[in-house]
Amino acid sequence: MRFYGLALLASAAVVACGGGEKASDTTKAAPTPTTTTPSAAPAAGGVAAMPATGATHEVKMYGDTQHGYKFDPSTITVKQGDAVKFTVVNGQPHNITFDPAAITDAAAKAQLNANMVGEIAELSSPMLLNVGDSYTISFAGIKPGTYAIHCTPHLALGMNGTIVVQ
Protein backbone atom coordinates (compact mmCIF):
# COMPACT_ATOMS: atom_id res chain seq x y z
CA MET A 1 0.00 0.00 0.00
CA ARG A 2 2.88 2.34 0.79
CA PHE A 3 4.33 1.79 -2.70
CA TYR A 4 1.04 2.83 -4.34
CA GLY A 5 0.94 6.01 -2.27
CA LEU A 6 4.47 6.95 -3.32
CA ALA A 7 3.71 6.13 -6.95
CA LEU A 8 0.60 8.31 -6.79
CA LEU A 9 2.59 11.22 -5.30
CA ALA A 10 5.30 10.86 -7.95
CA SER A 11 2.67 10.87 -10.72
CA ALA A 12 1.05 13.97 -9.29
CA ALA A 13 4.42 15.73 -9.12
CA VAL A 14 5.19 14.89 -12.75
CA VAL A 15 1.80 16.19 -13.90
CA ALA A 16 2.04 19.32 -11.72
CA CYS A 17 5.52 20.11 -13.04
CA GLY A 18 4.48 19.73 -16.65
CA GLY A 19 5.93 16.28 -17.22
CA GLY A 20 4.52 13.76 -19.61
CA GLU A 21 4.04 13.96 -23.33
CA LYS A 22 4.05 17.32 -25.04
CA ALA A 23 1.97 18.39 -28.00
CA SER A 24 3.71 18.07 -31.35
CA ASP A 25 3.70 21.85 -31.92
CA THR A 26 7.20 22.67 -33.18
CA THR A 27 6.71 26.40 -33.60
CA LYS A 28 8.41 28.62 -31.06
CA ALA A 29 7.34 32.12 -30.28
CA ALA A 30 9.99 34.81 -30.39
CA PRO A 31 10.90 36.13 -26.95
CA THR A 32 8.84 39.12 -25.96
CA PRO A 33 10.98 42.14 -25.05
CA THR A 34 10.89 42.89 -21.36
CA THR A 35 10.36 46.36 -19.97
CA THR A 36 10.91 47.13 -16.31
CA THR A 37 9.79 50.38 -14.72
CA PRO A 38 9.63 51.57 -11.12
CA SER A 39 6.57 51.00 -8.97
CA ALA A 40 5.57 52.78 -5.79
CA ALA A 41 6.30 49.79 -3.50
CA PRO A 42 8.71 50.48 -0.63
CA ALA A 43 12.16 49.00 -1.09
CA ALA A 44 14.36 47.62 1.63
CA GLY A 45 15.12 50.36 4.12
CA GLY A 46 11.62 51.83 3.88
CA VAL A 47 12.28 54.17 0.93
CA ALA A 48 9.56 53.98 -1.73
CA ALA A 49 10.29 54.07 -5.44
CA MET A 50 9.34 57.38 -7.00
CA PRO A 51 7.88 57.35 -10.53
CA ALA A 52 9.34 59.72 -13.09
CA THR A 53 7.56 63.03 -13.48
CA GLY A 54 9.55 64.40 -16.41
CA ALA A 55 10.90 63.32 -19.76
CA THR A 56 12.19 59.84 -20.59
CA HIS A 57 15.59 59.73 -22.29
CA GLU A 58 16.80 56.66 -24.19
CA VAL A 59 20.22 55.07 -23.97
CA LYS A 60 21.05 52.18 -26.31
CA MET A 61 23.29 49.32 -25.22
CA TYR A 62 25.67 47.80 -27.75
CA GLY A 63 28.10 44.92 -27.62
CA ASP A 64 29.75 44.02 -30.89
CA THR A 65 32.86 44.63 -32.98
CA GLN A 66 31.18 47.29 -35.13
CA HIS A 67 29.97 49.54 -32.28
CA GLY A 68 32.09 48.30 -29.39
CA TYR A 69 30.72 47.63 -25.93
CA LYS A 70 29.05 50.86 -24.95
CA PHE A 71 26.11 52.90 -23.77
CA ASP A 72 24.99 55.32 -26.49
CA PRO A 73 25.15 58.12 -25.52
CA SER A 74 27.82 57.38 -22.93
CA THR A 75 27.08 60.62 -21.07
CA ILE A 76 23.55 61.90 -20.64
CA THR A 77 22.23 64.89 -18.73
CA VAL A 78 18.75 64.67 -17.20
CA LYS A 79 16.68 66.79 -14.88
CA GLN A 80 15.65 65.62 -11.45
CA GLY A 81 12.41 63.68 -12.02
CA ASP A 82 13.30 62.48 -15.52
CA ALA A 83 13.80 58.82 -16.41
CA VAL A 84 16.40 57.00 -18.46
CA LYS A 85 15.31 54.00 -20.53
CA PHE A 86 18.13 51.61 -21.38
CA THR A 87 17.44 49.38 -24.42
CA VAL A 88 19.45 46.37 -25.63
CA VAL A 89 20.48 46.64 -29.27
CA ASN A 90 22.89 43.69 -29.33
CA GLY A 91 25.66 41.93 -27.39
CA GLN A 92 23.48 40.91 -24.49
CA PRO A 93 23.31 40.21 -21.61
CA HIS A 94 23.57 43.77 -20.33
CA ASN A 95 22.66 45.50 -17.11
CA ILE A 96 23.00 48.92 -15.50
CA THR A 97 25.04 49.18 -12.33
CA PHE A 98 26.00 52.15 -10.16
CA ASP A 99 29.04 51.75 -7.90
CA PRO A 100 27.65 51.93 -4.35
CA ALA A 101 31.01 53.18 -3.01
CA ALA A 102 30.98 56.10 -5.46
CA ILE A 103 27.63 57.47 -4.22
CA THR A 104 28.52 59.09 -0.91
CA ASP A 105 25.15 60.72 -0.20
CA ALA A 106 23.17 58.08 1.75
CA ALA A 107 19.77 59.58 0.86
CA ALA A 108 20.57 59.68 -2.87
CA LYS A 109 21.87 56.11 -2.73
CA ALA A 110 18.75 54.87 -0.91
CA GLN A 111 16.38 56.61 -3.34
CA LEU A 112 18.27 55.41 -6.42
CA ASN A 113 18.27 51.89 -5.01
CA ALA A 114 14.49 52.12 -4.40
CA ASN A 115 13.93 53.39 -7.96
CA MET A 116 15.74 50.35 -9.42
CA VAL A 117 12.95 47.78 -9.55
CA GLY A 118 13.97 44.12 -9.71
CA GLU A 119 17.61 44.76 -8.93
CA ILE A 120 19.92 41.74 -8.59
CA ALA A 121 22.24 43.46 -6.13
CA GLU A 122 22.57 46.90 -4.58
CA LEU A 123 22.27 49.50 -7.36
CA SER A 124 22.38 46.81 -10.06
CA SER A 125 19.52 46.21 -12.50
CA PRO A 126 18.42 42.77 -13.63
CA MET A 127 20.17 41.26 -16.63
CA LEU A 128 18.58 42.16 -19.95
CA LEU A 129 18.81 38.99 -21.99
CA ASN A 130 17.12 39.73 -25.32
CA VAL A 131 17.42 42.29 -28.09
CA GLY A 132 14.76 44.91 -27.44
CA ASP A 133 14.64 44.36 -23.67
CA SER A 134 14.65 47.63 -21.76
CA TYR A 135 15.01 48.88 -18.21
CA THR A 136 13.87 52.30 -17.05
CA ILE A 137 15.31 54.11 -14.05
CA SER A 138 13.47 57.05 -12.54
CA PHE A 139 15.61 59.92 -11.29
CA ALA A 140 12.74 61.34 -9.24
CA GLY A 141 14.01 62.21 -5.78
CA ILE A 142 17.65 61.85 -6.86
CA LYS A 143 19.87 64.72 -5.81
CA PRO A 144 21.73 66.63 -8.52
CA GLY A 145 25.15 65.19 -9.24
CA THR A 146 27.18 62.93 -11.48
CA TYR A 147 26.48 59.19 -11.34
CA ALA A 148 28.82 56.72 -13.03
CA ILE A 149 27.28 53.57 -14.53
CA HIS A 150 28.64 50.39 -16.03
CA CYS A 151 27.48 47.09 -17.48
CA THR A 152 28.70 44.38 -15.13
CA PRO A 153 29.23 41.66 -17.79
CA HIS A 154 31.14 44.08 -20.02
CA LEU A 155 32.96 46.27 -17.51
CA ALA A 156 36.33 44.81 -18.50
CA LEU A 157 35.52 45.78 -22.11
CA GLY A 158 35.00 49.42 -21.09
CA MET A 159 31.21 49.55 -21.12
CA ASN A 160 30.60 52.47 -18.81
CA GLY A 161 28.91 55.81 -18.85
CA THR A 162 27.79 58.82 -16.85
CA ILE A 163 24.40 60.21 -15.91
CA VAL A 164 24.39 63.86 -14.84
CA VAL A 165 21.31 64.86 -12.83
CA GLN A 166 20.57 68.61 -12.77
SS3 2: helix
pLDDT, tens digit, for every residue of 54-87?
Answer: 999 999 999 999 999 999 999 999 999 999 999 9
**DSSP string for 32-78:** PPPEE---S-B-TTSPBP----S-EEEEEEEEETTTEEEEESSEEEE
Dihedral sign of CA atoms 137, 139, 140, 142 in order:
positive
Q: What is the pLDDT of residue 46?
A: 80
Pairing of strands 134-138, 35-36: parallel
- Convert the pLDDT of each residue in 118-161 to its tens digit: 999 999 999 999 999 999 999 999 999 999 999 999 999 999 99
User: How many domains does one find in the chain?
Assistant: 1
Domain-embedded: residue 64 = yes
- Residue 14 located in a structural domain: no
CATH code of the domain covering residue 82 = 2.60.40.420
Domain-embedded: residue 4: no
Element (H, E) at 71: strand 68-72
Residue 68 lies in a domain: yes
Is 119 part of a structural domain of the chain? yes
pTM of this prediction? 0.74
1 in any annotated domain: no
Say if 23 falls within a structural domain.
no
Domain that holds residue 63: 33-165
Judge whether 83 lies within some domain.
yes
Window from 9-13, 40-44, 49-53 with minimum mean pLDDT: 9-13
